[in-house]
């Protein structure tokens, strides 16, 4: 899709679909917001802080 069309679509979506307020997930160990969501072996969701390496679910 040409860049001009993508820009128009983004502009229309910004008006038509209000964005939800983003929530950040902070590491309980160091307080960093650099957190990755990963899938566990059993299909569960876990989180890993990319700043300090702490993981939790």
Mean pLDDT by 10 residues, the chain (57 residues): 66 58 83 92 91 94
**pLDDT at 43 (0 to 100):** 85
Residue ranges with strand state E in 1-57: 35-39, 45-49, 55-56
Helix, strand, coil percentages, rounded to 5, for the chain: 25, 20, 55
Q: Where are the domains of the chain?
A: 24-57
**pLDDT at 57 (0 to 100):** 86
Phi, psi dihedral angles at 26 (to 5 degrees): -105, 145
């Amino acid at each position: 899709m040409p860049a001009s069309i993508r820009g128009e679509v983004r502009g229309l979506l910004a008006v038509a679909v209000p964005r939800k307020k983003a929530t950040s997930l902070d590491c309980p160990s160091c307080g960093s917001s650099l957190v990755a969501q990963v899938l566990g072996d059993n299909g569960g969701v876990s989180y890993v802080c990319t700043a300090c390496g702490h993981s939790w679910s």
